Amino acid sequence: MRIVCIGQAAFGEKVLRKLTERGEDVVAVYTNQDTAGKRNPLKESAIQIGIPVFQPGSMRVAEIYEEYKRLKPDLNVMAFVTSILPDSILDYPRMGTIQYHPSLLPKHRGGSAINWAIINGETKTGITIFWPDRRIDTGPILLQKEAEISPDDTVGSLYFEKLFPLGVEALMEAIELIKKGIAPRIAQDESQATYEGLCTEKVALIDWSAPIDSVYNLIRGTNPQPGGRTCFRGKTLEIFDAKPVYDIVGGLPGHIVNVGAEGFVVSLKRGAILVEKVQINKSSKIGAAEFAKQAGLKTGDRLGK
C-alpha cells in the first residue's frame, strides 16, 4: 500500500517513523514550508530515511496536484494538518484519506480542541481518527480513543503525555483496519457537535473576578500557548504554571496577597491562584518568584486593569 504522509512538527515525524518501522511503503512526505530559525523534524526524518519531501505553499495549485498524482498513492495519512486539503487530493487515493484530531468528535471541532476541553473544565477527552471531507473536522469516524484530563493537566501535558502517543498508535491501528477492509465510516452526530475558534490572546485574558476554577482552567488551558494574560504596571504579563488555593476567601480580585519562594498569590473573590511561572512583554519565561524579585512585586499590588 503506497502511503503519502501529510503533516508537520513532532507528531508528523513520529507517525512517519512508526510507518517506516512497520515496513509501510511511504512514497512521499508533504509538510509546511521552512521557517527561518525553526526546525522541521518531519522533513529532517524523511530526508534521513530517503523519502521524497514536498513543501508547497498551497495544496490547491494545479501543478501540485499533477505532481501528487504521479506518486499513485493508495492512502493519505494526515498527521497534524492545519489546513483544509482540496477534494481532488482527499479523494484521489483508492483507500481514501485518514486524519488525526485531538478530541472526541463531534465535540471540539477546530484548531484549539485541547485548549477548550481544559478551559471548559472537562475531565475526559480523547482522539479521533476520521475520514476528512471539505468541512472542518466533520467527516465520518474510523475510530476513537478516550483519555482522562487530570485536574492539573495543561495543554502541554495532556497533548504530549496522552493525546500524542495515543494518536500515533491509533493511526497505526486504523491503517490495519483499512488493510483488512473493515475500517468503519461512522457518521458524526451533528446534534452533539461543538466548534470553537482558535484559542487566541484575546480568549486568554484573565478575569480576576471570575470563580477560582474558571481562572485556573483558563490558565492551564492556555499553557504553554498563548498563556493566561493579564497586565501589571502597564505591561502584558502572561501566566503559565499555577495552582489553585482554596483556603483564601474575601480578598480583592487581582490583588497580590503573598509573595514567597514558590511564586506569588493572586486573590479572587473566593480563593486565590498561586502563580509559579510568568512571561513579561514576550520576554523569556521565568519563575514567578524571580519575576517578583526583579519587578519589586509586593503584597497589595494589583494585576489587571
- 127 neighbors 170 (Cβ within 8 angstroms): yes
Which residue ranges does the chain devote to CATH 3.40.50.170?
Answer: 2-192
Q: What CATH number has the domain spanning 2-192?
A: 3.40.50.170
Q: What is the pTM of this model?
A: 0.95
For residue 248, what pLDDT is reported? Answer: 86
The CATH architecture of the domain made up of 212-295 is Roll (3.10)
Residue 212's SS3 state is helix
Grid coordinates belonging to 251: 480578598
Which residue ranges does the chain devote to CATH 3.10.25.10?
Answer: 212-295
Determine the Cα–Cα distance for residues 77 and 50; give it in Å rounded to an integer.
18
Strand-pair partners of 101:
128
DSSP 53-115: EE--S-TTSHHHHHHHHTT--SEEEEES--SPPPHHHHS-STT-EEEEESS-TTTTBSTTHHH
For residue 304, what pLDDT is reported? Answer: 92
For residue 274, what pLDDT is reported? Answer: 98
CB-based contacts of 244, cutoff 8 Å, min separation 6: 212, 213, 216, 271, 272, 273, 274
Closest CA to 44 of 29, 56, 59: 29
| Burial class of residue 26, CB neighbours in 10 A (0-12, 13-18, 19+) | buried
Q: Is 97 left (phi over 0), alpha (psi -120 to 50) or beta?
A: beta
Give the residue carrying C-alpha cell 475531565: 123
Grid coordinates belonging to 72: 499513485
Tens digit of each residue's pLDDT, the chain (305 residues): 999 999 999 999 999 999 999 999 999 999 999 988 899 999 999 999 999 999 999 999 999 999 999 999 999 999 999 888 999 999 999 999 999 999 999 999 999 999 999 999 999 999 999 999 999 999 999 999 999 999 999 999 999 999 999 999 999 999 999 999 999 999 999 999 999 999 999 999 999 999 999 999 999 999 999 999 999 999 999 999 999 999 988 789 999 999 999 999 999 989 999 999 999 988 999 999 999 999 999 999 999 97
Residue 188's SS3 state is coil
Determine the Cα–Cα distance for residues 272 and 266; give it in Å rounded to an integer.
5
Grid coordinates belonging to 221: 488551558
- 212 neighbors 270 (Cβ within 8 angstroms): yes
